[in-house]
Amino acid sequence: MSNVLTVEQREQAGSDSYNRFEYQVHWIVCHIIDKLQEDAECIVFCEFHDDMAEFSPNNQKYQFYQIKTKEDPSDWTIAEMSKREKKKSGDYKKSFLGFIFYNYLTFGVECSHCHFVSNNDFDKEVLSWQAVIEDDKKLQVENVTLYEKIKNRIKNEFTNDMPSNFDTVFDTFIQNTFVHKSDLQLAAYENQTKGEFFNHLADKNIPTNTANLIFQQLLNDVRKKSKEKIKIPISMKSLVEKKGVDVAQIGRKIDGNIKNSGNYAAFHQYLLTQPLAEKDIHRIEAAKTLHDARWLDVNDFKYQEIVVVLRQVISTYCETSDRDGFDDELKGLCSQELKKNHLLSESLDKSLVEVLYYERKYSRNN
């Protein structure tokens, strides 16, 4: 079983201030937006072994991210990044770089890269280190003085528990750890993040209120999962449910919503062509608005399962039945299938079945 799923986390306390926590949440959302733009297949984990972890199903490897903020405008230095804080017990915590080294030491080949992200920039030494490894060169060869300086700082943190493979792990650490100055500013990160999300949806013809709903639900999901406490060992399935955001799933949900919602005026005109009373048209449109909102809620797993089953039943019915129009037979088939999948509630909402039925007919018509 994966070490990442079985090793106890260093801590689960989360961010030490509200502003740092919110900055971290918004940075993670921005990272998810970037991955959506790349059509990436990955899962983002909030506050899992680090401020954020990213898992790639393709290579089964993790990348870990530390997200740190500074109020003063000074650049980060090697000394500051490897500075240790004293605990109440008298012992010392690992430094930022020490914790990154710990990821490589503990997770081995499962850890492909680590990242240090901040709102502030980095000094010449840190940038020199980064320039060398970004060009796929060896820091030990290009700048042995800087290499030894960083190595000695990390080695001092493991004086009492020096791992036998320290040198090998350090070489992996030094060549695969990257620093990033975030574009998010402490004074404006909320508006910047929202702007990034709306820019991503700019060419997708989605109503502003719907886009705002998706954005708020994504923010709240990251907040919730950042605070969620878990027990180790844990299955990947449970970890995704409690701490993960599946980027590809969000992308599919946005695309699905665009296909089936947003064009309310056109959908209304289509309903007018059907043998429906005016009051039924209003009822279906109201049900569609509610459905669109629930379908976008990334936490409403059961509702989404119900909709998937209903769409399959409706599709089969429309392809095999000679009847044209919604009727009680279709509702009965939907109830039977939901019951078979243990998804049937006390009363199946007829309006939801009608919404999905007319959505299918509308999309086929267009």
Task: Look at residue 153 in the predicted model and tell me its pLDDT.
Answer: 97
Instruction: Give bridge partners of residue 278 from the DSSP assignment.
Output: none
CB within 8 Å of 221: residues ≥ 6 apart: 245, 298, 299
Could you tell me whether strands 61-68 and 111-118 are parallel, antiparallel, or unpaired per DSSP bridges? parallel
Between the CA of residue 364 and those of 206, 270, 285, 360, what are the distances in Å?
20, 12, 18, 6
Specify if 10 maps to a domain.
Answer: yes
Mean pLDDT in the chain? 90
Residues 175 and 29 grouped into a single domain: yes
Residues 25 and 94 grouped into a single domain: yes
Task: Look at residue 293 in the predicted model and tell me its pLDDT.
Answer: 76
Residues 309 and 231 grouped into a single domain: no
Specify if 252 maps to a domain.
Answer: no
Task: Look at residue 186 in the predicted model and tell me its pLDDT.
Answer: 94
Specify if 196 maps to a domain.
Answer: yes
- The structural domain count of the chain equals 2
Residues 239 and 352 grouped into a single domain: no
Mapped onto helix, strand or coil, the DSSP state of residue 244 is strand
Residues 190 and 237 grouped into a single domain: yes
Angstrom distance (rounded) from CA 101 to CA 118: 18
- DSSP output for 307-347: HHHHHHHHHHHHHH----S--HHHHHHHHHHHHHTT---SS
Residues 95 and 198 grouped into a single domain: yes
Specify if 330 maps to a domain.
Answer: yes
Diameter of the chain by CA atoms?
Answer: 81
| Number of H-type helices and E-type strands within the chain | 17, 6
SS3 content of the chain, % helix, strand, coil (to 5): 60, 10, 30
Minimal CA–CA distance to 343: which of 311, 317, 309? 309
Residues 112 and 43 grouped into a single domain: yes
Residues 291 and 192 grouped into a single domain: no
Residues 294 and 354 grouped into a single domain: yes
Low-confidence ranges of the chain (pLDDT < 70): 11-16, 205, 207-209, 256-263, 296-299, 346-348
Residues 347 and 295 grouped into a single domain: yes
Specify if 78 maps to a domain.
Answer: yes
Residues 191 and 122 grouped into a single domain: yes
The residue range of the domain holding 74 is 3-245
Task: Look at residue 320 in the predicted model and tell me its pLDDT.
Answer: 86
Specify if 253 maps to a domain.
Answer: no
Specify if 254 maps to a domain.
Answer: no
Residues 133 and 46 grouped into a single domain: yes
Specify if 224 maps to a domain.
Answer: yes
Task: Look at residue 7 in the predicted model and tell me its pLDDT.
Answer: 94
Task: Look at residue 204 in the predicted model and tell me its pLDDT.
Answer: 73
Angstrom distance (rounded) from CA 312 to CA 260: 15
Query: Using omega within 30 degrees of 0 as the cis cutoff, is the peptide bond preceding 275 cis?
Result: no
The pLDDT tens digits for 89-145 are 878 899 999 999 999 999 999 999 999 999 999 999 999 999 999 999 999 999 999
